Structure 1
Amino acid sequence: MKAKYIFKGLVAALLLVFITGSCDSYNEAVIEDLNVSREFSPIGLTARIRNQTTVELNWTLKEEDAAHYVIEFSADDPEFKTIFKTVEVTADQLPVQVALEGETVYSIRVKSVSSTGLADSKWSVTTATTLSEQIFLPVQDADIDATQITLRWTPNSTVTQITVAPGDIIHTITPEEKTTGVAIITGLTGETTYTATLLNGVKKRGVVTFKTGIDIGTGILVKPEDDLNAVIAAAPAGSVLVLMPGDYTKYTGEILLDKPITIRGLRIADKPKLHVKFTLSATATSLSLIDLELNGDKTLSEVVKYNQSGTYGKLLISGCIVHDYTGSLVYAPSTSSARIESVTVENSICTNMVTGSSGEFIDFRASYVGNINVTKSTFNNVAASRGFIRADATATFGAGLTSSLIDSCTFYGVTNTIANNAYVIFYVRFATNAAIVRNSLFVETAARYTSQATTIAPTFSNNNYYNAATLNAAVSTAAVKSDPAGTALNPQFANAANGDFTVGNQNIKDNGIGDPRWIK
């Protein structure tokens, strides 16, 4: 029995010694410095392509940064057997942008270099694929003619030839053209869309698409001193009137159209200035307005009005500058039951269209329109106190589909109101409807997309909303549909007050949001 207690006593004594020793170990100094023989590798390394062929690199910085970082690029070579480019940067240069060549998969590695004599860190690795290089400069309207074009690119670039399609045209670049970055391509056909490719050997260095100007041919040439109304009245149905640059003041006001006709400017860069509005009768089945400046002088109402019931073909407004009208861009009143194939507004700028009490910007009260297409255009202070597109219900022409497309447009102060249930982007009550909104930029508006239960929610993709919260609401409320997936970045316009909507925000530029003319 005594031996049992002696054994327990020994165990207790040993435990006491162990516990006392363990407690004493906690009194040792805390390790504040980690003895390492090399720098830590950069962490959180990211690579993003900017402007087609520039990669932007960034990584997480530690409190104690390295002296500098070494970045190595290998082209189409994941094992880094051949280093294409080496760059050294410091922490305060992050994020860093590095220009590369186009259409290439780059392996990228970054290491830290010590300022205290430690060995370099191990490499952190990522990859990035550049897009097609673009050293072509934007095509200027003044450089486009009917049968030739002047193309420009970054001077002194390494380039060998330009190919143009259709037509399989090959232009060999001369030493002088290489130095100046300018070449004239001839042998083109009027009113044709071409794609030009700038090459260095077989490597693509730029691509640009353009449409040649009008070759008058059988068109009717009109001069500024002519009476435009009289010329239109005398022209046969289906005529193409080609207007020389200038201010057309011999006739101003309403033009009554009773035939299909095309009215267009001769030169894209010098648009003829008209002070008219167009009212269509049932026999004016189609109308094209191309490369014109249309000025309402703050007195003229609707730009285009369908005044009679009937069946119409296509309405095209292309490459136009439209401003200072007091009514709609396109209007069909409730007294007109028209069936219209399509309405297309493209590559145009509409400014200060104060529709007031007259109606919505594109407004159909008792008519059916198959397609409303609004693309690559800018709308600045238009229908600020009214809706943008209106298509009321009508059973006159059966139950066809009316569809709307908004693509690559910039909206500033459009439909900036919630004063009435009808004042929305899509006031569409036609029984069968569909809408798409993509690649578009909405700024400074209280607008809602919809207000009617019968309006199908639009299909949205790649849009941005700045100070346009209702369009971008996280959750749609009843009939008020919204685009929660859209971003809400400040586009950083160059000078919105004076109509310069050039985008400064790099993310918006990278994503191609808005009217392309402002993405530079």
Structure 2
Amino acid sequence: MKNKFKNIALICGVSLMAFAASCSDLDDEIKSSSYDRLFSPTAVEARVQNKTNVRLGWTKVLGADSYVIELFANDSLQFEGSPVTTYNEVTDNPYTITGLDGETKYSARIKAVGEKISESKWTGVFFKTDAEQILQSVPEEDLTAFSVTLRWPAGATATEIILNPGNIRHTVTAAEITAGAATIEDLLSETTYTAKLMNGEKTRGSVNFTTLIDLGGATAIKEGDDLQAILNEAEEGAAFVIMSGEFTLGEYALTKSVSLTGYSSNAKPTIHGRFTVGDATVANLVLNNLILSGATEKMQNNLIETTNAAANLQNVELTGCEIRDFANALVYNNAGSTWGTLKIDNCIIDRILGSGGDGIDFRGGSLSSITVTNTTFSNGFRAFLRCQTTAAVSFTNCTFYRVAIVDNSNNSGLFRTTQNGCSLVVKKCLFYGTGVESNQTGNIGVWARTDIKGSEEYADNYYYNCFNLWGAKYADNHSNVATEANPGFKDPENGDYTLSNEDLIFHQIGDPRWY
């Protein structure tokens, strides 16, 4: 959650007037003048980090040797009573204070101190810490279909655990505090819960987890089973849980709704192949917690493709999947087919080569919507989005690394919508290394072609080291589309896009897995 801070500076101003004086002349005059006290710190900012730490920063005061910081709890710039803590002889700027209480309002005030000159007046700022986070992430071994064991540092005080959905309340016992663990039962299977560890009214930690799958309503597929034969024999709407292993599907013509879910997120099963829909209506294709690979004896073209104008694919969901090594596109409709909704969440999509198509490629037909969240796209794609039909399209909290990198005239950049009824929304996304360094002409690697149509909405996007990104439509003005900043990826060449840029982490830009 983004924290907003109010900054109130109590500053004594000096007015210097000189007719036709240059800025440098004014600077020289200020530096050469004598004052009986230091100026107060300005541009004071409080930035909460790691839930219960705060980084205080300010503009350096000329002539100051150090600073004094006073911290007041449960206070909004009143500075009444005694401070919680005083920090003297501070020379670090910014200065980080650690170990504060969670979900607590604080005020801090700062003054400058120097030799042979009076100290400055105070400048104040207030902020509120986030809820603590002492709950540990939940490993699979602490989950069943109907229960969870939650863990935190042994001995840390807590009074209650609250789980939602369901507003389930568990009173923490003395024994559980000593152990730093509590087991909650009677949960629902295959359900995502949010658990909060409480100490009175304050949150000491929160964690999301998903209970395991109850196989009572689904059919288990084990390593060595014939996946093609199982799908051929399946009834409409059948749900399958793939326990583990690798499966060769090849090019599979889908004629009925199906749901395929990997049982373990720590050991996702792999399916080598792709899905096509021809002269059929398919209500749902749900692929969850799988590795989907186009690497077969002959590299598969597209993960999902409709091949006939009569095809009607009403709902596609890709969740928690790793998708890689397809020759052309992720999804493809060049047959005038009917599509409904396409939803992609929490996926890693890598090496979609784009040798004969674009990444998300709809050339006519009909389409209701594309919604993509919390996903990383990397190392491929000729052009990224090609939407030549009316649809509502949105990308939120996605990371793009070396996308739209095929060097040919069919590379039309990142986003192309050609119908006036389209809407395109791109928010909190991060773009790195897009385009082609050796060829920065035409539409190669651009944000959007000049012929883009429909409504566009962009907010809080960032880019770095991109080639030809602002060619064509945005050649002159792109300031409201994206901001340049180096994300400081940890090891991008090996697929680790962990951020080191504190601003991007603070504002939660890109795929959340990399914060």
CA distance in 2, matches of 1:473, 1:462: 20
Amino acid in the other structure paired with 2:185: T
Residue 186 in 1 paired to residue 185 in 2? yes
- C-alpha contact 1:470 1:482 (8 A) present in aligned 2: no
CA distance in 1, matches of 2:162, 2:233: 43
Residue 406 in 1 paired to residue 385 in 2? no
Q: Higher Cα Rg: structure 1 or 2?
A: 1
Residue 389 in 1 paired to residue 369 in 2? no
Aligned to 1:397: none
Measure how far apart 1:466 and its partner are.
1.1
Residue 320 in 1 paired to residue 321 in 2? yes
- C-alpha contact 1:474 1:482 (8 A) present in aligned 2: no
Amino acid in the other structure paired with 2:383: G
The alpha-carbon distance between structure 1 residues 306 and 58, as it changes in their structure 2 partners (threshold 3 A), is same
- C-alpha contact 1:465 1:472 (8 A) present in aligned 2: no
CA distance in 2, matches of 1:179, 1:48: 34
Measure how far apart 1:59 and its partner are.
2.4
- C-alpha contact 2:450 2:472 (8 A) present in aligned 1: no
Residue 95 in 1 paired to residue 84 in 2? no
Aligned to 2:413: 424
Measure how far apart 1:76 and its partner are.
2.9
- Any idea what SS the aligned residue of 1:368 has? coil
CA distance in 2, matches of 1:262, 1:35: 75
- C-alpha contact 1:448 1:482 (8 A) present in aligned 2: no
Aligned to 1:433: 422
Aligned to 2:125: 126
- C-alpha contact 2:420 2:455 (8 A) present in aligned 1: no
Residue 516 in 1 paired to residue 512 in 2? yes
The alpha-carbon distance between structure 1 residues 321 and 104, as it changes in their structure 2 partners (threshold 3 A), is same
* CA RMSD in angstroms, aligned pairs only: 2.9
Amino acid in the other structure paired with 2:107: S
- Any idea what SS the aligned residue of 1:214 has? coil
Deviations 1:133-154 (A, max 9, x none): 3333445566544222343445
The alpha-carbon distance between structure 1 residues 468 and 154, as it changes in their structure 2 partners (threshold 3 A), is farther
Measure how far apart 1:89 and its partner are.
5.0
Measure how far apart 1:115 and its partner are.
5.7
Aligned runs of 1:57-456 on 2, under 5 Å?
Answer: 57-76=56-75, 78-83=77-82, 85-88=84-87, 90-99=89-98, 100-113=100-113, 121-140=120-139, 143-153=142-152, 156-175=155-174, 177-178=176-177, 181-248=180-247, 251-281=248-278, 282-297=280-295, 299-308=299-308, 309-333=310-334, 336-357=335-356, 359-383=357-381, 386-393=382-389, 401-416=390-405, 419-420=408-409, 423-446=412-435, 447-456=445-454
CA distance in 2, matches of 1:433, 1:418: 28
Deviations 1:61-83 (A, max 9, x none): 33433355232223235433344
CA distance in 2, matches of 1:381, 1:237: 36
Deviations 1:418-455 (A, max 9, x none): 74365222222234211100011111113222214352
The alpha-carbon distance between structure 1 residues 189 and 108, as it changes in their structure 2 partners (threshold 3 A), is same
- Any idea what SS the aligned residue of 2:44 has? strand
CA distance in 1, matches of 2:177, 2:40: 44
CA distance in 1, matches of 2:281, 2:146: 34
- C-alpha contact 2:413 2:448 (8 A) present in aligned 1: yes
List runs of 5+ in structure 1 lacking aligned partners: 1-30, 394-400
The alpha-carbon distance between structure 1 residues 210 and 253, as it changes in their structure 2 partners (threshold 3 A), is same
The alpha-carbon distance between structure 1 residues 179 and 361, as it changes in their structure 2 partners (threshold 3 A), is farther
CA distance in 2, matches of 1:445, 1:496: 13
- C-alpha contact 1:418 1:424 (8 A) present in aligned 2: no
Aligned runs of 1:32-51 on 2, under 5 Å?
Answer: 36=36, 41-51=40-50
- Any idea what SS the aligned residue of 1:324 has? strand
Amino acid in the other structure paired with 2:431: F
Residue 495 in 1 paired to residue 491 in 2? yes
CA distance in 2, matches of 1:254, 1:56: 54
- C-alpha contact 2:102 2:204 (8 A) present in aligned 1: yes
List runs of 5+ in structure 2 lacking aligned partners: 1-30, 436-444
Count of aligned residue pairs for this structure pair: 471
CA distance in 1, matches of 2:243, 2:293: 17
Measure how far apart 1:321 and its partner are.
0.7
Aligned to 2:27: none
CA distance in 1, matches of 2:227, 2:71: 65
The alpha-carbon distance between structure 1 residues 182 and 296, as it changes in their structure 2 partners (threshold 3 A), is farther
- C-alpha contact 1:473 1:484 (8 A) present in aligned 2: no
The alpha-carbon distance between structure 1 residues 151 and 515, as it changes in their structure 2 partners (threshold 3 A), is farther
CA distance in 2, matches of 1:72, 1:257: 64
Aligned to 1:13: none
- C-alpha contact 1:440 1:462 (8 A) present in aligned 2: yes
Amino acid in the other structure paired with 1:331: Y
The alpha-carbon distance between structure 1 residues 483 and 392, as it changes in their structure 2 partners (threshold 3 A), is farther
- C-alpha contact 2:330 2:359 (8 A) present in aligned 1: yes
- Any idea what SS the aligned residue of 1:69 has? strand
Measure how far apart 1:344 and its partner are.
1.1
Amino acid in the other structure paired with 1:273: T
CA distance in 2, matches of 1:141, 1:430: 46
- Any idea what SS the aligned residue of 2:235 has? coil
The alpha-carbon distance between structure 1 residues 167 and 64, as it changes in their structure 2 partners (threshold 3 A), is same
Deviations 1:202-247 (A, max 9, x none): 1122333333332222211110110010111111111001110222
- C-alpha contact 1:75 1:83 (8 A) present in aligned 2: no
The alpha-carbon distance between structure 1 residues 77 and 458, as it changes in their structure 2 partners (threshold 3 A), is closer
CA distance in 2, matches of 1:516, 1:288: 23
Measure how far apart 1:343 and its partner are.
0.9
- Any idea what SS the aligned residue of 2:483 has? coil
Amino acid in the other structure paired with 2:448: T
Measure how far apart 1:39 and its partner are.
6.3
The alpha-carbon distance between structure 1 residues 162 and 290, as it changes in their structure 2 partners (threshold 3 A), is same
- Any idea what SS the aligned residue of 1:303 has? strand
Measure how far apart 1:404 and its partner are.
0.7
Measure how far apart 1:459 and its partner are.
0.3
- Any idea what SS the aligned residue of 2:496 has? coil
- C-alpha contact 1:301 1:326 (8 A) present in aligned 2: yes
CA distance in 2, matches of 1:354, 1:449: 19
CA distance in 1, matches of 2:38, 2:472: 45
Measure how far apart 1:487 and its partner are.
2.1
- C-alpha contact 2:63 2:114 (8 A) present in aligned 1: no
Higher mean C-alpha displacement, 69-78 vs 367-376: 69-78
Measure how far apart 1:111 and its partner are.
3.2
- C-alpha contact 1:471 1:483 (8 A) present in aligned 2: no
Measure how far apart 1:186 and its partner are.
2.4
Higher mean C-alpha displacement, 223-232 vs 200-209: 200-209
CA distance in 2, matches of 1:289, 1:312: 14
